[in-house]
Structure 1
Amino acid sequence: MLSFVRRRVVLPLFIICIAGIVLFTGGFIFFADRVTTLEPPDLTRAADGIVVLTGGYSRIEGALDLLKNKRGERLFISGVHPTTNRSQLQRVTGGDATLFECCVDIDRSAMDTVGNAAESVKWAHSNRYKRVIVVTNNYHIPRTMVELRRVSQDIEFIPYPIINTNLRDGDWITRGMVLRVLLVEYIKYIGAEIRSRLPASFAGLAGSVRNSLPSF
């Protein structure tokens, strides 16, 4: 009886677990290599607008540079803390006051990437924008694009990665903090992919897993 259980239950479960670990590890290595080798896109052709998601170092500064260089007509900063006003944000980022006044819109309602995507699409639709540059950190690009495309299929989103650390030589695997950030983001990315394929009535179940993970 014991040998039967081992052959029919334990062994298949063991094989499934090993296969799952191999797939997860292989997927993570592919994900990490992909995000650490991302490069800014060719923006010879300007977009209609620019969206930047708050939460990471240098994101807003990078988006303001794009706006200043006329890569888009307006900039939408999504996920600003409710207590932060326009003047404070302008001073902290070192942005041009005139540019802030004329061409920057601020969202204070989004609390996470899902909210960023929803508010960004609303903004793009309200301005009738069809081509939008999306600025965020390189490791955050895949999940951001999944969430944006889940909300809207009629807007062309152009990912613009902010790269704070050069990891193109693959040394991310030896940096503890970087490895942790990439691993957590990979798990969140898997959750976003699953949610994007679920019926709307079930999307909240995957969302609960996402909300239990630390934010970056």
Structure 2
Amino acid sequence: MKARRVSGMGRLVTRMGLGLLKGAVVAFLAWGVGLALFAAALPTRILDNQTVTDAIVVLTGGSGRVPAGLDLLSAGMGRTLFLSGVGADVTLNDLDATSAITVPGPLRERVVLGHAAVDTIGNAHETARWMAACGYRSLRLVTAAYHMPRSLVEFRAVMPEVLVIPNPVFPGRSSNGSGGSGVGRRC
């Protein structure tokens, strides 16, 4: 039997295939390193649970966030609770009626709904406008632990002069049963 010679075209196809394979391996390794860095950046606890801020800002969309915000407001950790990203037509009464979250009477006047945001960048811009209108200089940011790194980047980019204290929520760890929302553009 004669050995087959690989034509120039065959060698080119083989080299291209190997090049694509190497590229895929490098891309997979880069993705893996990125995933590991992301996981390492996730908060595992609340680092500062003592500093009182002007506002408590909750990014809506996940379990445990609003109850955590209400608990912080009730504990005096901020003057006002701002819920960013609430549905356009949603009111405080709607939230009380349609969810397991009820805002206690004494706190209702200190809860504000933000209706403009639909994503994290929007949350940051909506909050920045509200904070500026109120003259606030510090906030405690409440969102899920997995969402905190990105949220901090967006908030600090839009409000570099504002003190932002992360207050991660850990969905699934425990439920405290409280919750709430607000209405208007009060400070």
TM-score (norm 1): 0.68
Structure 2 gap segments, 5+ residues each: 1-7, 174-187
Aligned positions of 1:1-216 closer than 5 A: 1=8, 2-4=10-12, 6-7=14-15, 9-35=16-42, 38-90=44-96, 92=99, 93-101=101-109, 103-166=110-173
Structure 1 gap segments, 5+ residues each: 167-216
Q: Residues 42-66 of structure 1, C-alpha deviation per residue, up to 9 Å, x if partnerless?
A: 2322112110011001101100111
Residue 31 of structure 1 deviates from its aligned partner by: 2.0
| Partner amino acid, structure 2, of 1:130 | R
Residue 41 of structure 1 deviates from its aligned partner by: 2.4
Residue 82 of structure 2 aligns to a residue whose secondary structure is strand
Give yes or no for contact 2:48–2:165 (8 Å, CA) kept in 1.
no
Q: Residues 66-99 of structure 1, C-alpha deviation per residue, up to 9 Å, x if partnerless?
A: 1111111111101111232112324642221221
Report % sequence identity: 33
Residue 20 of structure 1 aligns to a residue whose secondary structure is helix
Cα distance in structure 2, aligned partners of 1:6 and 1:152: 53
Give yes or no for contact 1:61–1:95 (8 Å, CA) kept in 2.
no
Aligned length: 163
Moved over 6 A (4+): none
Residue 134 of structure 1 aligns to a residue whose secondary structure is strand
**1:171 equivalent in structure 2:** none
**Aligned-residue CA RMSD in angstroms?**
1.9
Cα distance in structure 1, aligned partners of 2:122 and 2:44: 24
Residue 4 of structure 1 deviates from its aligned partner by: 4.2
Cα distance in structure 1, aligned partners of 2:165 and 2:23: 38
More displaced stretch, 49-58 vs 104-113: 104-113
| Partner amino acid, structure 2, of 1:30 | L
Q: Residues 128-162 of structure 1, C-alpha deviation per residue, up to 9 Å, x if partnerless?
A: 22221110111111121122123222112111111
TM-score (norm 2): 0.78
Q: Which one has a larger percent strand, Structure 1 or Structure 2?
A: 2
**2:177 equivalent in structure 1:** none
Q: Residues 95-130 of structure 1, C-alpha deviation per residue, up to 9 Å, x if partnerless?
A: 2122112x1111112112221111011111222222
Q: Which one has a larger percent helix, Structure 1 or Structure 2?
A: 1
Give yes or no for contact 1:90–1:96 (8 Å, CA) kept in 2.
no
Q: Residues 6-62 of structure 1, C-alpha deviation per residue, up to 9 Å, x if partnerless?
A: 43x433332222111011123213323543x52112232211211001100110110
Q: Larger radius of gyration, structure 1 or 2?
A: 2
